Amino acid sequence: MTFSTSPGVLIAVPQLHDQNFVRSVVLMVEHTKDGAVGLVLNHVLDHTCAAVTEELDIEWSGAAQTTLSRGGPVEPQSLWIVHHDGWSFAETRRVSEGLSVSRSREALTRMCACREPRLLLIVGYAGWGPGQLEREILQGSWLTSSVHPELVFDWPRGEVWHRALLAMGVDPAHLVEGASEIQ
């Protein structure tokens, strides 16, 4: 069975105890017959965007306390920029209405120079091989939903999982934790 979760998000069920994905919401960047790539939106790191861009010798004009997110376990040194559709660069990929992803230094430099840039910086990504994500969804590890820019930019990182479930009409209090443990 082949289906695509992109554009969209994956929402981990409470039974998914893989530390990379506990209560995660994953923005799907790509999903084809060859596999899938996504970015965990709500696993916040202790590092700030200002500190990371300073290491790259790029000026950060946003709020000093803006944090970085951990997008997944694959290539943890890679940097992804989730931003609104107003920006476009050679490698920019539109992932849904109102949202795009870029990875170039030029994109980072230009967006970070804006006062209060509307973006999310993410290191690493989540990757699935051919058919792997489809199997995980059929096993009940993930719920799928559409993606909205406010999920990325407006909701506090600590509330994204809860709010994403509520937005799709699921009360997190009614999900039974531990009913069927999924590793």
In the chain the domains, ranked by start, together with CATH numbers, are: 9-174 (3.40.1740.10)
Q: How far apart are CA 134 and CA 136, in angstroms?
A: 5
Q: Is the pLDDT of residue 90 over 80?
A: yes
**pTM over 0.75, yes/no:** yes
103-161: pLDDT as tens digits: 999 999 999 888 766 889 999 999 999 999 999 999 999 999 998 888 998 899 899 99
Cβ-based burial of 183 (10 A; exposed 0-12, middle 13-18, buried ≥19): exposed
> Given this model, what pLDDT does residue 135 score?
94
